[in-house]
């Protein structure tokens, strides 16, 4: 009997040691890593610079900006002069130029002259277009930078989850060895061994999916940086290494967002341009002028000449120029309302992100300072109790599954908080996280139990570990892939 106990003790000790595979860095290293902020990553800064340099979307917006610059001199230029050629002849019997005094060629030049002030107002309206295009460039740069940050976070998360899967695979190797020894010595059941073997095969499927996700994230980040799709990116940081983003004061965040928001600036510029267009519409009620000069050669006779000034008559002002003024005034009022709408939405989004960030930061901090420590301690305790026969094999699997779920939940909580911070830097008008979409929550180490960890990333906790703390049986009925160990 002592021999059988010795045979069981070795793999049991190995299983207990394997729980440390799931542990994150020690307290001293974790404290050092906590100083590494996401924004200070040199590789991220390099990728952002490459993206700003190579993105075709930015070149497109820059081209539109340069096009707006070309509109200003056009708007302030005089209309093109009109050259008129004519012939006046006496009778139809032949050309009488040089024979009859009233027969001549005519060359006339007419120069339209807008009423004073119109060209200046048109230039002002076009100049506002330049500032609108500059705001569009600002938006494009902010979005490009935020997209790189989100893609970089996605790559870090995918690689961290792949590393977590590798630790899970090592753990399953220990579990299978323990189940085999217990079965061979009559202390365990064949179903435990078969279950362990089944889960190891399932892990291979998950590895393929995660490896494909890593390649996808890498290709997306390379595209944003203007690199070849398969170019390696050697990341040295981990999601678990990142310091949690600071939660800004509401008043400061609101002021910063209103100062930097391209959409709010564009809305205000639209209001300014509409006001200029009202002034221009009112000035358009005044008539334009045209100055003309002509010379009429008459062959052998002395040439004739003429000069004149013409004025347009706004006799249809009631249905034309007057209506144009009314239209411009209404559009100006609508633009003012539009700017206020953008301002209100922007302030709402800022507050939403602050509230969400507070929740995510607290959730991630709870993972790091409490849940992960408790979850690992629960796994170690349950393993020790199983070694002496006080709990079932299923309880060990449940405890270890809960630890994996909490590890993944901690990663997702950090990524979610960083996404909200990225959206705040982007000054996004999209709700909550803004632009990045929801985090993917499936397909990583474990299935349903891992879903519990993902939910924890949004503010909840991994529920599996609490069930196993008492050493009781799994509550999922064995259907969870995480608890199927």
pLDDT at residue 68, as a whole number: 92
How does pLDDT run across 236-295, given as a tens digit for each residue? 888 988 889 999 999 999 999 999 999 999 999 999 999 998 998 888 888 889 999 999
Positive or negative, the Cα torsion across 25, 31, 33, 39?
positive
Position 467 scores a pLDDT of 33
Looking at residue 468, what is its pLDDT?
34
Residue 82 has pLDDT above 90, yes or no: yes
Residue 452 has pLDDT above 50, yes or no: no
Beta bridge partners of 291: 111, 309
pLDDT score recorded for residue 35:
52
CA distance 131 to 272: 11
CA 265 to chain centre: 19
Percentage of the residues of the chain whose pLDDT score is greater than 70: 80
Evaluate if residue 7 carries a pLDDT over 60: no
List pLDDT tens digits, range 193-217.
777 777 777 888 888 889 999 999 9
CB-count exposure of residue 113 (10 Å: 0-12, 13-18, 19+): middle
Helix (H) or strand (E) holding 83: strand 82-88
Q: Are 364 and 420 in contact (CB under 8 A)?
A: no
Confidence of residue 222 (pLDDT cuts 50, 70, 90): very high
Binned at pLDDT 50, 70 and 90, residue 320 comes out as: confident
- Give the pLDDT score at 36: 66
Residue 15 has pLDDT above 50, yes or no: no
- Phi/psi at 153 (nearest 5 deg)? -60, -40
- Rg, Å, the chain Cα set: 38
Contact, 210 vs 158, CB < 8 A? yes
**Confidence band (pLDDT; 50, 70, 90) for 9?**
very low
Give this prediction's pTM.
Answer: 0.76
Whether 450 shows a pLDDT value over 50: the answer reads: no
Over residues 429-445, the mean pLDDT reads 49
> Can you tell me the distance from the alpha carbon of 232 to that of 55, in angstroms, rounded to the nearest whole number?
19
Q: Are 132 and 195 in contact (CB under 8 A)?
A: no
Phi/psi for 300 (5° steps) reads: -75, -10
Mean per-residue pLDDT for 377-406?
75
Cα–Cα distance for residue pair 43/351, rounded to 1 Å? 31
- Alpha-carbon distance of 67 to 121, in angstroms, equals 19
Domains, the chain, with CATH or none: 2-468 (1.20.1600.10)
Residue 305, pLDDT above cutoff 70: yes
> What does the pLDDT read at residue 144?
94
**What is the enclosing helix (H) or strand (E) of 309?**
strand 301-311
Region 126-139: mean pLDDT is 93
- The pLDDT value recorded for residue 460 is 37
């Amino acid at each position: 009997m002592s021999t059988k106990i010795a045979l069981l003790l070795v793999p049991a000790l190995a299983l207990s040691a394997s729980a440390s595979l799931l542990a994150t860095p020690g307290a001293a290293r974790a404290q050092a890593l906590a100083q590494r902020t996401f924004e200070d990553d040199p590789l991220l800064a390099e990728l952002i610079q490459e993206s700003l340099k190579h993105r075709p979307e930015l070149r497109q917006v820059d081209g539109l900006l340069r096009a707006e610059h070309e509109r200003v001199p056009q708007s302030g230029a005089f209309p093109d002069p009109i050259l008129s050629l004519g012939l006046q002849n006496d009778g139809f019997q032949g050309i009488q130029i040089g024979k009859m005094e009233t027969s001549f060629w005519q060359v006339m030049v007419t120069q339209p002259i807008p009423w004073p002030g119109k060209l200046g107002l048109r230039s002002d309206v076009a100049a506002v277009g330049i500032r609108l295009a500059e705001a569009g460039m600002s938006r494009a740069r902010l979005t490009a930078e935020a997209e790189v940050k989100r893609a970089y976070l996605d790559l870090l998360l995918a690689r961290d989850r792949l590393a977590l899967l590798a630790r899970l695979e090592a753990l399953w190797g220990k579990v299978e060895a323990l189940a085999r020894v217990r079965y061979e010595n009559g202390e365990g059941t064949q179903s435990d061994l078969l279950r362990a073997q089944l889960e190891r095969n399932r892990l291979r499927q998950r590895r393929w999916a995660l490896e494909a996700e890593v390649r996808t994230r890498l290709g997306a980040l390379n595209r944003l940086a203007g690199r070849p799709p398969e170019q390696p990116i050697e990341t040295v940081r981990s999601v678990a290494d990142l310091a949690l983003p600071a939660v800004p004061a509401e008043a400061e965040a609101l002021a910063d967002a209103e100062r930097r928001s391209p959409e709010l600036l564009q809305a205000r510029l639209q209001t300014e341009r509409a006001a200029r267009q009202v002034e221009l519409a009112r000035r358009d009620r005044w008539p334009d002028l045209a100055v003309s000069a002509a010379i009429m050669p008459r062959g052998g006779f002395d040439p004739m000449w003429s000069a004149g000034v013409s004025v347009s008559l706004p006799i249809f002002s009631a249905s034309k120029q007057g209506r144009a003024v009314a239209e411009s005034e209404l559009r100006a009022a609508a633009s003012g309302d539009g700017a206020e709408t953008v301002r209100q939405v922007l302030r709402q989004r800022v507050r939403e992100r602050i509230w969400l960030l507070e929740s995510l930061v607290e959730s991630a901090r709870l993972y790091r300072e409490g849940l992960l420590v408790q979850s690992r301690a629960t796994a170690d305790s349950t393993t020790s109790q199983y070694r002496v026969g006080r709990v079932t094999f299923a309880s060990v699997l449940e405890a270890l599954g809960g630890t994996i779920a909490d590890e993944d939940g901690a990663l997702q909580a950090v990524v979610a908080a960083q996404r909200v911070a990225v959206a705040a830097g982007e000054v996004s008008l999209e709700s909550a996280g803004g632009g990045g979409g929801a985090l993917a929550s499936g397909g990583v180490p474990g299935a349903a139990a891992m879903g519990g960890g993902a939910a924890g990333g949004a503010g909840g906790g991994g529920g599996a570990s609490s069930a196993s703390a008492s050493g009781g049986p799994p509550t999922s009925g064995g259907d969870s892939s995480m608890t199927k160990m």
